[in-house]
Amino acid sequence: MAYYQSKPAAGRHFLQIPGPTNVPDRVLRAMDNPTMDHRGPDFGKLGASILAKVKQVFKTQSHVIIYPASGTGAWEAALVNTLSPGDRVLMSETGWFASLWREMAERLQLRPEFLQGDWRSGADPAAIEAYLRGDKGHEIKAVCVVHNETSTGCTSRIDEVRKAIDAAGHPALLLVDTISSLGSIDYRHDEWGVDVTVAGSQKGLMLPPGLSFNAVSAKALKASETAKLPRSFWDWKPMIAANATGFFPYTPATNMLYALDAAVDMLLEEGLDNVFHRHDRHAEATRRAVRAWGLEIQCDEPRHYSSSLTAVRVPEGNSANALRAAILEKFNMSLGNGLGQLNDRVFRIGHLGDFNDLALMGTLSGVEMGLRVAGVPHRPEGVRAAMDYLAGNA
Does the domain made of 14-18+271-392 have the CATH classification 1.10.10.10? no
3-class SS of residue 335 = strand
Quick one: pLDDT at residue 44?
Answer: 97
Is residue 3 pLDDT above 90, yes or no? no
In the chain, % of residues over pLDDT 70: 99
Quick one: pLDDT at residue 145?
Answer: 98
Q: What is d(CA 323, CA 344) in angstroms, rounded to the nearest whole number?
A: 9
**DSSP symbols for 68-135:** SS-HHHHHHHHHHTT--TT-EEEEE--SHHHHHHHHHHHHTT-EEEEE---SSS---HHHHHHHHHT-
**DSSP symbols for 235-278:** -HHHHHHHHTTT--SS---HHHHHHHHHHHHHHHHH-HHHHHHH
Is the CB of residue 98 less than 8 Å from the CB of residue 146? yes
In tens, the pLDDT along 146-198 reads: 999 999 999 999 999 999 999 999 999 999 999 999 999 999 999 999 999 99
Residues near 391 by beta carbon (within 8 Å), at least 6 away in sequence: none
Is residue 1 pLDDT above 50, yes or no? no
Quick one: pLDDT at residue 35?
Answer: 96
In tens, the pLDDT along 216-237 reads: 999 999 999 999 999 999 999 9
pLDDT band at residue 133 under the 50/70/90 scheme: very high
Quick one: pLDDT at residue 320?
Answer: 98
In tens, the pLDDT along 301-333 reads: 999 999 999 999 999 999 999 999 999 999 999
Distances (CA, A) of 255 to 35, 123, 245, 251, 252: 6, 37, 19, 11, 9
In tens, the pLDDT along 337-369 reads: 999 999 999 999 999 999 999 999 999 999 999
Quick one: pLDDT at residue 47?
Answer: 98
pLDDT band at residue 61 under the 50/70/90 scheme: very high
Could you say which DSSP state residue 330 is in?
H
Q: What is d(CA 180, CA 42) in angstroms, rounded to the nearest whole number?
A: 32
Is the CB of residue 82 less than 8 Å from the CB of residue 221? no
What sign has the CA pseudo-torsion 211, 216, 222, 228? negative
Quick one: pLDDT at residue 9?
Answer: 83
Q: What is d(CA 93, CA 277) in angstroms, rounded to the nearest whole number?
A: 28
Could you say which DSSP state residue 209 is in?
S
pLDDT band at residue 8 under the 50/70/90 scheme: confident
Q: What's the CA dihedral at 356, 255, 72, 76 to 10 degrees?
A: -140
14-18+271-392 and 26-268 have identical folds: no
Domain ranges in the chain are: 14-18+271-392, 26-268
- Mean pLDDT across the chain: 97
Pick the CATH number of 26-268 from 2.40.170.20, 1.10.3720.10, 3.40.50.2300, 3.40.640.10: 3.40.640.10
- Length of the chain, in residues: 394
Quick one: pLDDT at residue 394?
Answer: 81
Is the CB of residue 309 less than 8 Å from the CB of residue 153? yes
In the chain, % of residues over pLDDT 90: 96
In tens, the pLDDT along 87-111 reads: 999 999 999 999 999 999 999 999 9
What is the pLDDT averaged over residues 249-263?
Answer: 97
Which class for 291: exposed (0-12), middle (13-18), buried (19 or more C-beta within 10 A)? middle
Q: Are strands 88-92 and 196-200 parallel, antiparallel or unpaired?
A: unpaired
